[in-house]
Amino acid sequence: MNNAINVIGGGLAGVEAAWQAAERGAKVRLYEMRPVRQTPAHRTDKLAEIVCSNSLKTDEPGSAPYLLKEELRRGGSMVLEVAHATRVPAGAALSVDRVKFAEMITERVEAHPNIEVVREEVTSIGWSADTPVRMSAKNEHGLAGGTGDADKSVRAPTIIATGPLTSDALTADIMRVTGDDQLYFYDAIAPIVAADSIDMSVAFKAARYDKGGNDYINCPMDRERYELFVAELLEAKSVPLKRFEDTHWFESCLPIEEIARRGPETLRFGPMKPKGLRHPKSGEEPYACLQLRQENMMADAYGMVGFQNHLRYGEQERILKLIPGLEKAEFLQFGQIHRNTFINSPTILNETLSTRKDPNLFFAGQITGVEGYVESVATGWLAGINAVRVLRDQPMITAPQRSAIGALCRYVSNVETKNFQPVNITFGLIQELPPELRKQYRKKRERHVFQVELALKDWNEFMTELKRGDEEIVK
């Protein structure tokens, strides 16, 4: 092969795309702008740095997130393999030591003989929607095209996986190429506290409904303390947003102060719900409860589950110390806010994740409108495979209709565009069972378990065919 595949962005989707392409023999240039240029949320120069929660969500068999993970595991996902190698206790969830996770992925990617990591900012993808597929060997913006002269070389497949924190310059060029207005929503990061600063004479260890052992630290609240906390939270000063922008919060990641504004009891039915958490001494559920999840293998840092916010740092420290057990908390990280960018994918992408106007241009990760770490990995997995197939003049693949990956790609490429919003994987996206089977499996849990079984059967057949095709190409 004379061309290299370009992958722009070294996040979860980008590294997975690069890995899948490289493992199939393609040469890959992986562009990452850090540390040359940092983002508002990242702190290091490591690939696949996780900036929000360290949880990759539930891995409980029979759930939609489990199905998505299992498809990737069976598909040879490097990111999922590293996630298991750096796993920390988190009940039924798959959570990782974010530092070791990023370090291990960076080491593997940089050591791969088919991947060249380029540390520079890409400000333009180098062509417009009307540019012919044939172009010069290297365009003026530094992205590799092909070999040979300007008239005969073919544009190299390019995957844009720059994530929700795409730089302003590249965002503007993406808008130019796609011909669509920018979409965005605000996302927030939860605080992290030092483990030895938590008062364990007040807090207690347990997992909700005893799933996974005593993996969480729980800070119980009675009614009086809860009402005081909510009152102070509503009066707290927030970091101001830009005056000229509307605020579009992502519903699955609302700041705690925004949740509280929806009613005094909303936190008790959201991130502070006490259901399934019984105090080991009294045996009773508290009125409200904050959960803290282990952040690393050293177990010296715990993240406040669901407590993302955009309060001023001084206000965060004052108000969060009202929570029983956190009166003397040492904050290793305060909550933050950043703007997430995504494209209007249903008007731009095919189910293969290639663009409708150009089969050599792909998008993957959160910029496509999937929300979640594993969802981003899944789109990177498919885009990386299809970029190689384009390079080899093979037909691109789509994931099975009943699969979780197929459901995500179908959503971002076909959903109604009037109010396109990012999504996590749910059974609401996955192809329903036919009526006769829905009657047979009336209980939701049983129905979901059966759906997962069917989906994985299809997935095994799909992977067998895909591996057979890859082996034939190698021969």
Provide block-wise average pLDDT over 10 residues at a time, the chain (475 residues). 80 97 95 80 85 90 96 98 96 94 97 95 67 35 37 68 84 80 72 95 91 88 96 87 52 83 94 92 93 91 92 94 97 83 90 94 94 96 96 94 96 81 88 82 88 96 90 60
CA distance 105 to 48: 7
Residues 6+ apart with CB under 8 A from 37: 121, 167
What is the pLDDT at residue 420? 80
Is-cis flag, bond preceding 35, omega within 30? yes
Query: In 3-state terms, what secondary structure has residue 397?
Result: coil
| Residue in this structure with the two tokens 């997430």, named with its chain if needed | 340
CA distance 390 to 396: 7
Chain-centroid distance, C-alpha 299: 23
CA distance 124 to 173: 6
pTM of the entire structure? Answer: 0.77
**Structure token digits, residue 164:** 């929700």
What single letter denotes the amino acid at residue 475? K
What single letter denotes the amino acid at residue 335? G
Residue burial 369-400, b: 16+ Cβ < 10 Å; e: rest: bbbbbbbbbbbbbbbbbbbbbbbeeeebbbbb
Q: At what angle do helices 12-23 and 78-85 cross, to 10 degrees?
A: 120
CA neighbor of 27 nearest in space, from 144, 181, 125: 144
What is the pLDDT at residue 417? 64
Phi, psi (degrees; rounded to nearest 5) at 307: -105, 30
What is the pLDDT at residue 13? 97
Residue ranges of E strands in 44-157? 55-58, 87-88, 93-96, 115-118
CA distance 384 to 449: 30
The residue length of the chain stands at: 475
Q: DSSP character for 165?
A: G
The answer to whether 330 and 194 are in contact (CB under 8 A) is yes
Vertex 468 angle, CA 63 and 13, to 5°: 45
CA neighbor of 67 nearest in space, from 473, 460, 395: 460
What is the pLDDT at residue 148? 33
First to last CA, the chain: 14
Query: In angstroms, what CA-CA distances link 348 with 160, 180, 420?
Result: 13, 9, 12
- Give the residue ranges of DSSP H helices in 119-222: 168-178
Q: How many CA atoms lie within 13 A of 326 on its CB side?
A: 28
Query: In 3-state terms, what secondary structure has residue 319?
Result: helix
The answer to whether 25 and 110 are in contact (CB under 8 A) is no
**Structure token digits, residue 438:** 């829905």
Residues 6+ apart with CB under 8 A from 454: 402, 433
The answer to whether 81 and 96 are in contact (CB under 8 A) is no
Residue burial 10-47, b: 16+ Cβ < 10 Å; e: rest: bbbbbbbbbbbbbbbebbbbbbbbbeeeebebbeebbb
Q: How many CA atoms lie within 13 A of 462 on its CB side?
A: 20
